[in-house]
Amino acid sequence: MRTPTPTIVLFRQDLRLADHPALWAGVQRGPVLPVFIHNPLDEHGAAWRWWHDQSLTAFSAALAERGLPLILRRGDTLATVGDLIAQSGARAVFWNRRYDPSGMAQDRILKAALLADGVEACSFPGHLLAEPWELLRDDRPYRVFTPFWKAFLARVRVVEPLPIPDHMQASLSVPSSENLDTWAWQPRKPDWSAGLAAAWEPGENGAWQRLHGFLENGLYCYDSARNEPARHCVSRLSPHLAHGELSPRQIWQQVQELASRYPQLAANADAFLRELVWREFSWHLLYHFPDLPHTPLRPEFARFPWREDRGALGAWQQGRTGYPMIDAGMRELWQTGWMHNRVRMIVASFLVKDLQIHWQQGAAWFWDTLVDADLANNSVSWQWVAGCGADAAPYFRIFNPVLQSRKFDPHGVYLRHWLPELGSLDDTHIHDPTNAGGEVLARVGITLGRDYPRPMVNHVIAREAALQAFAQLKK
Cβ 321 vs Cβ 333: under 8 Å: no
User: Residues, the chain, total?
Assistant: 475
What is the pTM assigned to this prediction? 0.96
Identify the CA nearest to 244 among candidates 28, 46, 99: 99
* Whether residue 141 sits in one domain with residue 282: yes
Distances in Å between the alpha carbon of 297 and those of 132, 181, 290, 379, 442? 18, 40, 10, 10, 49
User: Could you say which of 359, 365, 367, 418 is catalytic?
Assistant: 359
Torsion-angle region of residue 168: left (phi > 0), alpha (psi -120 to 50) or beta?
A: beta
Classify 24 in phi/psi space as left (phi over 0), alpha (psi -120 to 50) or beta. alpha
**Cis? peptide before 305, omega within 30° of 0:** no
The verdict on 106 and 140 lying in the same domain is no
Domain boundary among 265, 288, 311: 288
Instruction: Return the exposure string of 42-63: e unless at least 16 CB atoms fall within 10 Å of the residue's CB, then b.
Output: eebbbbbbbbbbbbbbbbbebb
Q: Does residue 229 fall inside a structural domain?
A: yes
Range of the domain at 341: 299-472
**CB–CB of 222/261 below 8 Å?**
no
Q: Is 458 a catalytic residue?
A: no
What pLDDT score does 392 carry?
65
The sheet carrying 92-96 orders its strands as 71-74, 32-38, 7-11, 92-96, 120-124
Q: Is 133 a catalytic residue?
A: no
Beta pairing partners, 93: 8, 121
Last residue in a domain, options 229, 257, 288: 288
List phi, psi (to 5°) of 260: -70, -30
Instruction: Give me the sign of the Cα torsion angle 133, 137, 139, 140.
Output: negative
pLDDT at 268: 97
Residue 192 in any domain: the answer is: no
Does residue 208 carry a catalytic annotation? Answer: no
pLDDT < 70: residue spans in the chain: 1-3, 392-393, 475
Question: Is 444 found in the same domain as 329?
Answer: yes
Of the residues 278, 283, 334, 367, which is catalytic? Answer: 278
| 352, 468: one domain | yes
Q: 217 with 270, same domain?
A: yes
In this structure, the answer to whether residues 64 and 17 fall within a common structural domain is yes
On whether both 266 and 345 belong to a single domain, the answer is no
Query: Same structural domain for residues 304 and 447?
Result: yes
Long-range contacts of 250-258 (CB under 8 A, 24+ apart): 250/18, 250/19, 250/161, 250/211, 251/211, 251/276, 252/129, 252/158, 252/276, 253/158, 253/160, 253/161, 254/211, 254/215, 255/215, 255/219, 258/215, 258/219
Catalytic residue among 134, 183, 341, 421: 341
Residue 342: CATH number of its domain: 1.10.579.10
Q: Give the CATH number, domain containing residue 39.
A: 3.40.50.620
Decide if 167 is inside a domain.
no
Residue 2 lies in a domain: no
For residues 108 and 132, membership in a common domain is answered with: no
Question: In 39-77, at which residue ranges do the beta strands (DSSP E only) sit?
Answer: 71-74
Q: Rounded to whole angstroms, how far apart are CA atoms 45 and 48?
A: 5
pLDDT reported for residue 2: 60
Residue 188 belongs to some domain of the structure: no
In this structure, is residue 427 part of a structural domain? yes
Between CA 5 and CA 118 the distance in angstroms is 14
Question: Which residues make Cβ contacts (< 8 Å) with residue 180, sequence separation at least 6?
Answer: 53, 56, 57, 60, 72
Between strands 32-38 and 71-74, the pairing is: parallel
* Angle made by CA atoms 168, 172, 176, in degrees to the nearest 5: 105
Q: What gap in Å lies between CA 45 and CA 364, rounded to an integer?
A: 9
Q: Which of 237, 263, 288 is the last residue of a domain?
A: 288
- CATH number, position 243: 1.25.40.80
Catalytic one among 51, 185, 382, 418? 382
Respond yes or no: is residue 341 known to be catalytic: yes
Do 369 and 410 share a domain, yes or no? yes
With contact defined as beta carbons under 8 Å apart, do 237 and 214 qualify?
yes
Domain membership of residue 103 (yes or no) is yes
Question: Using CA atoms in the order 117, 122, 128, 133, what is the torsion angle rounded to 10 degrees?
Answer: 70
Number of domains in the chain: 3
CB 63 within 8 A of CB 174: no
327 & 213 share domain: no
Please state, in angstroms and rounded to a whole number, the distance separating the CA atoms of residues 246 and 203.
9
In a domain, 171, yes or no: no
**Catalytic residue list contains 192:** no
Same domain, 214 and 96: no
Nearest to 309 by CA among 361, 347, 350: 361
